[in-house]
Amino acid sequence: MPDVTVARRSKSTLGHVDGDLTVERDAIVYAEDKLVTVDGRVDTEGTVIFEGGLQASELHGNDGDLDIRGDLKIQDEIRISDGSLHVSGSLSAADVDIDRHLEVLGTLTAARLQAGSRIAVHGQLKAESVEVGGSLEASESADVDEIEAGGSVRVGKQVNAKSIDVGGSVVVGGGNVTEKVDVGGTFESNGPLEFNEIDVGGSVRLKGNSVGKRIDVGGVFNVSGNLKFEEIDVGGTIEIEGDGDGDDIDVGGLLHVGGNLNLTGSLDVGGKCRISLVLSADRIDIGGSLEADTVNVDEMEIGGSILTKNGVKASSIVIGDRGRVRGPLFSDTIRVGEKADVEAVYGKTITLEEKSRATLIHGVDLRIEAGCRIRGEVLYTGSLEADEGVLFMVPPKKVHSLRVDLE
């Protein structure tokens, strides 16, 4: 049949329309054999219901909600002005632009998807770009190049995307983001995630083993498994329950790693650092305290305290004023600040500044300033320079050879 118009508040049964189809306000269209096929364009006005599927070249709705109780297949564009679209089956189109809500109970496939308020997809979501002013909810997986939402995004299973840009919160089931995750509030992945860059203003939680490059988080960053990365910059707290392998970490508050932490670059912690097993890095700078089983580092500077089981091995160690060390120190150069308290110290060049204390010292060249107290053995092979007022509980002894194990 040629162009067809379904009158206002009427009911009509259609199968195939050769031309265009116009459906007026509050009308219901019943599908022959569960599908209405329109060779041309479909225009709806007000609230309209299709009892069955719809296939057409274009779909335009205005000033009301459109309910498709079947599959919706549009060759080119879907445009709903001042209304919402509900599809009981699957939806496919080139471009989808909905002023209010979009809900699809099946799968949704589109090149460009846009909605003003909310998008809910109960099946798989496949699109080149998704833009929504409010929330995006995908119960299954989402394969989308670019996701942009003003409010929140929730993907029940894996997400595969180039970029995710969300003003509020994001929850995904794991997956791969090849470019950037940019979230104003919180980001959570309930499965392993591979990513290039994460930039989140609030908190991040990653479950399972994850791999990424750059991480910038304003608040809390938590990983329940292992993490491989390049750079981490967190204003508050970092907690990695497994092992951490990367280049650099800069954290303003607390760092806790449940396994080993291996860095090829630097570790800079403003507050407390607790590594359950071995910490390895090129440079370590801790403003507060460090606790680890073993520390292997080239250069280290600690403002507060160190607690280790097997000690710190380094090329250079600086303990700040009033610092406190429990566990041995092994280094080419060791400087202990004023009024600091250390235990066993093994090195080549060792300096204890005024009023510091040590339990044992083995070294080559020693410099001990006034008011220091050495509770145990002092052995050296080179020189000993001690100011007046230094208290040696055991007289220092120069020896011909001394093993200082820095390996």
pLDDT of residue 2: 85
For 272, other C-beta atoms within 10 Å of its C-beta total: 19
What value does the mean pLDDT of the chain take? 95
Contacting residues for 230 by C-beta, under 8 A, at least 6 apart: 212, 213, 214, 246, 247, 248
Q: If pLDDT is split at 50, 70 and 90, which confidence band does 404 have?
A: low
**The token pair that represents 72 in the structure block:** 């919706």
Cα gap 261→270, rounded to integer Å: 17
Residue 15 above 70 pLDDT? yes
Q: What's the distance, CA 132 to chain centroid?
A: 22
Cα gap 264→46, rounded to integer Å: 63
121-155 pLDDT tens trace: 999 999 999 999 999 999 999 999 999 999 999 99
pLDDT of residue 30: 97
**The token pair that represents 97 in the structure block:** 């632009």
Q: With 0-12 CB in 10 A as exposed, 13-18 as middle and 19+ as buried, what is 33?
A: exposed
Residue 194, strand partner residues: 176, 211
Question: CA 20 → CA 59, 60, 267, distances in Å?
Answer: 10, 11, 67
- Give the residue-averaged pLDDT of 370-394: 96
More confident residue, 253 or 1: 253
| Length reported for the chain | 407
Report whether 14 contacts 31 (CB < 8 A).
yes
pLDDT of residue 407: 44
Cα gap 282→278, rounded to integer Å: 14
- Give the residue-averaged pLDDT of 59-75: 97
Residue ranges covered by each domain of the chain: 1-106, 311-407
373-383 pLDDT tens trace: 999 999 999 99
- Give the residue-averaged pLDDT of 180-208: 95
- Give the residue-averaged pLDDT of 147-166: 97
Q: If pLDDT is split at 50, 70 and 90, which confidence band does 1 have?
A: low
70-126 pLDDT tens trace: 999 999 999 999 999 999 999 999 999 999 999 999 999 999 999 999 999 999 999
For 359, other C-beta atoms within 10 Å of its C-beta total: 17
What is the share, in percent, of the chain residues with pLDDT greater than 90? 94
pLDDT of residue 406: 46
pLDDT of residue 288: 87
The full DSSP string for 277-312 is EEEEEEEEEESSEEEEEEEEEEEEEESSEEEESS-E
What is the share, in percent, of the chain residues with pLDDT greater than 70? 99
CA angle centred on 247, ends 243 and 252, rounded to 5°: 80
214-272 pLDDT tens trace: 999 989 999 999 999 999 998 889 999 999 999 999 998 899 999 999 999 999 998 89
Number of H helices, E strands in the chain: 0, 50
Residue 356 above 60 pLDDT? yes
Question: CA 37 → CA 13, 17, 43, 56, 120, distances in Å?
Answer: 12, 6, 14, 6, 25
**131-135, 161-165, 303-307: the lowest-pLDDT one:** 303-307
Residue 402 above 60 pLDDT? yes
Give the helix ranges, DSSP H, for 21-138.
none
Q: What's the distance, CA 48 to chain centroid?
A: 44
